[in-house]
Amino acid sequence: MKKVMLLFFLFLFLFSINVSASGRYRESGSFITPQILIYQGSSFLGVNYETGFSGRLNIGGDFVFGLGAGAYLMISPELIYHFDLNVRKVDLFAGIGPVLSVGYHGGANFSFKPFIGTRLLIGRKTMLYFKIFSLIGDNSSLGASFGISFRI
């Protein structure tokens, strides 16, 4: 699974360099991202929201839910820093945030989520989104999410 995620990330990075659309990351604005999250061998659906806070520092968060035996709801506010790569169409970011996971059948977990990700501009207000994260808590593990971001 880790090899697949690494190859996917590499493909997105190379794709972003070769796409001929113009544009750069702008420090203002808000983004909404429907996403698929892969964590502990299961897939989850969710949404990420992010808005400008101060310069290259943004705030936002994930709202994710899963179905099946490991069904739960995850709420994760985030503090995000956007790096200045001076590369067209690429937005590299990293951040951290607390995570509250609540199982549908009872039980809750609290953890922290450091992450790194990228947005790759494919249209004037549309970007591919990819994020690798780790949940650090009782059940530490790596995961990834991907989706399409829309500037709103």
**Residues 115-147: pLDDT tens digits?**
999 999 999 899 999 999 999 987 788 999 999
Q: What is the tally of structural domains in the chain?
A: 1
pLDDT at residue 14 tops 70 = no
Residue 23 lies in a domain: no
Q: Residue 89 burial (CB < 10 Å; 0-12/13-18/19+)?
A: buried
**CATH number for 82:** 2.40.160.20
Q: What is the pLDDT of residue 70?
A: 64
Residue 26 lies in a domain: no
Cβ-based neighbours of 14, under 8 Å, separated by 6 or more: none
**Partners of residue 79 on adjacent β-strands:** 59, 96
Residue 111 lies in a domain: yes
Q: What is the pLDDT of residue 95?
A: 97
Mean pLDDT of 96-125: 91
Give the whole-angstrom CA distance, residue 138 versus residue 117.
24
- Which residues span the domain enclosing 134? 2-18+31-151
Q: What is the pLDDT of residue 140?
A: 80
Residue 91 lies in a domain: yes
Residue 88 lies in a domain: yes
Prediction pTM value? 0.78
119 φ/ψ sector (left φ>0, alpha ψ -120 to 50, else beta)? beta
Residue 43 lies in a domain: yes
**Residues 26-74: pLDDT tens digits?**
556 899 999 999 888 888 899 999 998 888 899 999 999 986 666 678 9
pLDDT at residue 82 tops 70 = yes
**Residue 18, both tokens:** 């070769």
